[in-house]
Every structure is written in C-alpha cells, then in structure tokens.
A and B are shown apart, each in its own frame.
Chain A
C-alpha cells in the first residue's frame, strides 16, 4: 500500500472540499451579500458664532421726572430680537458708566452727584445695572428668561421684551439742553451664544 500516495489523495480531498465550499458560498447569494458592502456617512450640522444674527435696541432713553423717577420706553419698543434659524441665549450683560454719571445700587442714598440706578431685563428678571458694572458683568448663561427661540417661532418667543425702571439723584449735568436721545449715562454690552441656557 502506498501510504504517501494515499496521503496526497486525502490532501486533495480536503482541498477539493474546501474549494467546493468556497464556490458554494460564493454562488449562494445571501441577501446581505446581494446588497454589496456597506459604508456609512454621517450628516452633521453646526454653526459658527459669526453666523448668529440678532438685534438689540440702539438706545434706551429714560425721561427723568421731578422726583427723580425714570420713565423708560415700553417693553414692546425695547426688544432683543433673534434673527437666526436656531435658538440663541443672552449669556452676559455688561454695563459701563458714561460721562460723569455714577451708577449706584440706590441713587437716592449716598452723596455722589449725578447718581443713577436702573434695572433692565425681561419681566420678572430685571437686572441691576450696578451689579452689571462689577467685573465682567452679570452671567446670564443659566437664566432661562434670556432664551430666545428661532426666528418666527410661534408665540413670539424669538424676542425678549425689556422692561426698565430707575431713579436719578443729585443731578448737576444739564439733562434739559441735551440733543438727540438725551445725555448718555451708560452703555450695555449684550453677549449672545447659540442654544438655550445651560442647566
């Protein structure tokens, strides 16, 4: 008996069986193989800060009554409007005093001349100007009342209506013979980011 020849026969049998199996797998079209090899592509969207578009009032003109009480414009006239296709949020409000005005927590107390206190913000969340002068301003990033929905959202939540109040005291500046919108007491800088407030 030629063992070597038999071993070669066995090898040939194994190789043949393997080839047959491979051919069978290739010839039998399973559904997955019929669809071809699969790859995937993610579709993403993001925005850049330069694309955020919104409007703020150029001026909030107060009128001083005889007792020092300030009358501001209506909240419908002083709004921050979102002009973006996604929600945005005011994250910071910083106030800088102008000219020789002193922005105080309470204008009627103290001794400083040309003293003013005022608040500005949405209903129920008016922000104190004197607090907004400290450091880098008031952090509003966690304040839900400063959220704005996408432009045109139902219900009008794409804008914030700003209410105002305040007082002046010990005024020596000529706030009568001023031209334009009046004597500038402060500048408010609003910082805005896309998205809603953080938790």
Chain B
C-alpha cells in the first residue's frame, strides 16, 4: 500500500512539473480577455447603453482553472497507475 501511495504521489508531482512550466509560459506570452456575443428580440434601444467591461485581471481565473485541470489530470494518472498495479 505504501508503495502505491508513493507511486501516486510521484505521478502527481511529475504531472505538476510537466504542466506547470507550460502554463507559466502561456501566461507570459499573451494577455487575453473575452467578450460574449448575444442575440435576442429585446425592444429596448441599447444604443446608448454602456456595456460593462471585463478587465485583464480576470485571467487569474483561467490560471486557477488550468491548475485545477492539471491537478485532475495528475489524479487521473495516479488512479490509472494504481489500477494497473492491482
């Protein structure tokens, strides 16, 4: 059992090391922000409606999501190794 735990922990560490630099590189290479495009039949005249603005600081959420995805991937890899050992 201890060996399996070590293997899972090792797999998680390897995955984080593998994913980590790639994410950091992506963060350094570009600044991004997103805009939704919607359509409806609203009769409201939006001609002078000031749309709220998304600020680039929101990209931290993307980083958090990427880290979460990497963690999930690492867990999956660990479980796969564990299953193969059984």
| A interface residues, Cβ below 8 angstroms from B | 48-50, 52-64, 70-71, 73-74, 76-79, 81, 83, 91-92, 95, 98, 116, 118, 120, 129, 168, 175-176, 178, 180-193
Contact = CB atoms under 8 A, between A and B. Distances in A.
Contacts of B28: 48-50
Contacts, number: 150
Contacts of A74: 46-48
A98 B34 CA distance: 13
Interface residues of B, number: 30
A60 B33 contact: no
Contacts of A175: 39-41
Contacts of B49: 73, 77
Interface string B13-38: 00000000000000111111111111
A-B pairs with lowest CB-CB distance, top 6: A182-B40, A182-B38, A55-B53, A186-B37, A188-B35, A62-B39
A95 B39 CA distance: 15
A77 B53 CA distance: 10
Given A63-B46, A191-B30, A191-B32, A56 B54 contact: yes
Contacts of B39: 61-64, 70, 116, 168, 175, 182-183, 185
Contacts of A91: 30
A60 B36 contact: yes
Interface of B: 27-44, 46-57
A56 B34 contact: yes
Contacts of B32: 189-192
B40 A63 contact: yes
A122 to B, nearest CB: 14
Contacts of A64: 39-41
Given A175-B39, A175-B41, A176-B40, A58 B54 contact: yes
A192 to B, nearest CB: 5
B36 A187 contact: yes
Contacts of A83: 55
A73 B51 contact: yes
25 contacts: A50-B27, A53-B57, A55-B33, A55-B53, A57-B54, A58-B53, A60-B36, A60-B38, A63-B46, A73-B46, A73-B49, A77-B46, A77-B49, A77-B51, A175-B41, A182-B38, A183-B39, A183-B40, A184-B36, A185-B38, A189-B32, A191-B30, A191-B32, A192-B32, A192-B33
